Structure 1
């Protein structure tokens, strides 16, 4: 049920951004995404690709970019046609910078062109700054961080040291959230969780693998996340309290709890769909919120519970269309690339080997 948990995290981001009334929720959800990505990417690098770069990078591109391009083009059309879009989000104010064009085309350069106070970059999909961080962290996992226990622990210690320095030297709270150096703490934790997964599976109660137990385990993961988040709300600065680091542990525990377990039947189908929806929902929620704001008559308040709650079904609908029109047609190509990866043994008589593991996004 890790797909359902990721969908829950995406909804947390939607509510955080479009209500502007829920402290810390969005940052905590993004940290959990980072942990889960660190866990899953380490797994596919180790089991499927054996750290072979070409097939890994190509499949990551096909997983992330086509859906992004489709949603970015939709947003660009909205930007040209619909009114007051630049008022709804500061990222939709065009400043004529070449770096903005590069960032929108490639995503990952946003890591090196960060927003500054009062000087937002023009991003068609505002949330792609964190996708840029993810892509750079993927590269670091491939280069060294996921290659062995020692490298993973060394990366974890290095990033933890960076966080400690940031805290005790009084650096801006965003320095513990936005940069790759900060995100690698969550990615390395996820990577370490995968390294520990074989031990956990050997000692995990057998009942946890039953399909009937999966909804209970999902509720347990969601409840743990919400409990840690709620405890953090005494401080509206997410990265300045210990619960920011507690939620990283929750995400790692959730990844381990669901390791190697797939729900079957209708429950499994729903879980896969929710997991697939999490990425496009994360991308499209600001444009969806803008459309809802227009439909509500352009009220003075551009952030509210009404906008956020209506934006969820709009985001899901657009995301489902994107999956059907863009993602599903590419799955056979991605499967073919995986079939040629060093860690996949083709089934005799089958033109395409089955995927060793699920996609991380």
Structure 2
């Protein structure tokens, strides 16, 4: 999952990316609503939106696309500015939420099922590295934070291959990802960290890179007569995802969910060309929604619903209430925490450079 500020001048026509980020975040919200409902009452999430977990796969494909677009821009690639921007966008908001989880797990452990509030787990979580923790897994304190560990690893790979070896097409980065995934499939590493970083889900970053190059080769924003093809590809991707909503999570999710996500992104770039400030704003909130929605969903299902049990409501009403509450919290977090902290961090990290060197930046 990648955090993104308002669209820049160089990419202000890619509203499709913002809309699809919003859709991916909402899909993950609905999946966790169903999963927690099953955990709490024994309800079956596969009936409604098990495939909502594929929102993560769409996020990874989008991330690969965006990194390829950033690195492929004309001009000198400034690896330092690239890394500063990645850190400023992702780290501050995530650290705030991680520290909140730690404090809650430390003071009110009854709120959690398996989260262990140890300093070791906290430091590992803040590091964005999937190391084995005291509870025997590689998952960070924030349950959805495992995706950020993959994102950070991908950013490091992009920075190294593009910054040090001038791999502006990310061919070397793609080759490294494919190689480690093949190694994992063949070797079946017992070490949890090696197992994590050789998971086939990494291929979805490569899928996003492929989508970027196909989109660029096809003329980018100038779709012309290819609009019908874009509509067909977009619809096919959605059908493939919705048609397998009962498929459980598995090792080959890049094939079953990543490939349809490719189709959704590639087709969406040609279909979702309209301007909607509301949908774009949902896209801006997508990172905040992703890292905060678990609090809202858990609070509502485990505590609020028990208080309103005498009131008979259809499940659609509960979904609507939770979605509205999650979006409200995300909007507040984005406005009051994520965006201000991101700007402050960006200014702070750039300060030494501004004092010593005056040169234009070609970063994202």
Which residue of the other structure, out of 110, 113, 116, is the alignment partner of 1:93?
116
Q: Residues 45 and 168 from structure 1, CA distance in 2 versus in 1: closer, same or farther, beyond 3 angstroms?
A: closer
Q: Deviations over 1:255-305 (max 9, x none)?
A: 6437xx8644xx1x22331111111111112111222122223899xxx98
**Equivalent position of 2:362 in the other structure:** 343
**Equivalent position of 2:322 in the other structure:** 311
How far did 1:198 drift?
2.6
How far apart, CA to CA, are the structure 2 residues paired with 1:12 and 1:177? 26
Q: Deviations over 1:136-156 (max 9, x none)?
A: 11111222279547752x554
How far apart, CA to CA, are the structure 2 residues paired with 1:169 and 1:331? 40
Answering whether residue 215 of structure 2 is matched by residue 187 of structure 1, we say no
**Equivalent position of 1:253 in the other structure:** 266
**Equivalent position of 2:243 in the other structure:** 231
TM-score by structure 1 length? Answer: 0.70
Answering whether residue 29 of structure 2 is matched by residue 14 of structure 1, we say yes
**Equivalent position of 1:297 in the other structure:** 306
How far did 1:41 drift?
1.5
Q: Is the 8 A contact 2:174 2:206 kept in 1?
A: yes
How far apart, CA to CA, are the structure 1 residues paired with 2:193 and 2:96? 31
Answering whether residue 278 of structure 2 is matched by residue 270 of structure 1, we say yes
Q: Is the 8 A contact 1:39 1:194 kept in 2?
A: yes
How far apart, CA to CA, are the structure 2 residues paired with 1:229 and 1:177? 26
How far apart, CA to CA, are the structure 2 residues paired with 1:272 and 1:48? 26
How far apart, CA to CA, are the structure 2 residues paired with 1:176 and 1:255? 34
Q: Residues 145 and 25 from structure 1, CA distance in 2 versus in 1: closer, same or farther, beyond 3 angstroms?
A: farther
How far apart, CA to CA, are the structure 1 residues paired with 2:221 and 2:359? 33
Q: Residues 205 and 325 from structure 1, CA distance in 2 versus in 1: closer, same or farther, beyond 3 angstroms?
A: same
How far apart, CA to CA, are the structure 2 residues paired with 1:283 and 1:219? 33
Structure 2: which 5+ runs fail to align?
Answer: 1-15, 36-44, 310-314
Match of 1:232, SS state, is coil
How far apart, CA to CA, are the structure 1 residues paired with 2:246 and 2:331? 37
Answering whether residue 213 of structure 2 is matched by residue 200 of structure 1, we say no
Q: Is the 8 A contact 2:236 2:263 kept in 1?
A: yes
Which residue of the other structure, out of 84, 88, 103, is the alignment partner of 1:58?
84
Q: How does 1:132-151 map to 2 (within 5 A)?
A: 132-144=149-161, 147-148=166-167, 151=170
Q: Residues 149 and 247 from structure 1, CA distance in 2 versus in 1: closer, same or farther, beyond 3 angstroms?
A: farther
How far apart, CA to CA, are the structure 1 residues paired with 2:231 and 2:142? 29
TM-score by structure 2 length? Answer: 0.69
How far apart, CA to CA, are the structure 1 residues paired with 2:221 and 2:298? 48
How far did 1:186 drift?
1.2
How far apart, CA to CA, are the structure 2 residues paired with 1:235 and 1:171? 25
How far apart, CA to CA, are the structure 2 residues paired with 1:194 and 1:280? 25
**Equivalent position of 1:102 in the other structure:** 123
Q: Residues 316 and 50 from structure 1, CA distance in 2 versus in 1: closer, same or farther, beyond 3 angstroms?
A: farther
Question: RMSD of the alignment, in Å?
Answer: 4.3
How far apart, CA to CA, are the structure 2 residues paired with 1:135 and 1:129? 10
Q: Is the 8 A contact 1:125 1:284 kept in 2?
A: no
Q: Is the 8 A contact 2:64 2:206 kept in 1?
A: yes
**Equivalent position of 1:351 in the other structure:** none
How far did 1:309 drift?
5.0
Match of 1:201, SS state, is coil
How far did 1:317 drift?
1.4
How far apart, CA to CA, are the structure 2 residues paired with 1:243 and 1:176? 23
How far did 1:2 drift?
1.7
Structure 1: which 5+ runs fail to align?
Answer: 345-356
How far apart, CA to CA, are the structure 1 residues paired with 2:346 and 2:93? 17
Answering whether residue 22 of structure 2 is matched by residue 3 of structure 1, we say no
How far apart, CA to CA, are the structure 2 residues paired with 1:163 and 1:330? 35
How far apart, CA to CA, are the structure 2 residues paired with 1:48 and 1:131? 28
How far apart, CA to CA, are the structure 1 residues paired with 2:26 and 2:111? 22
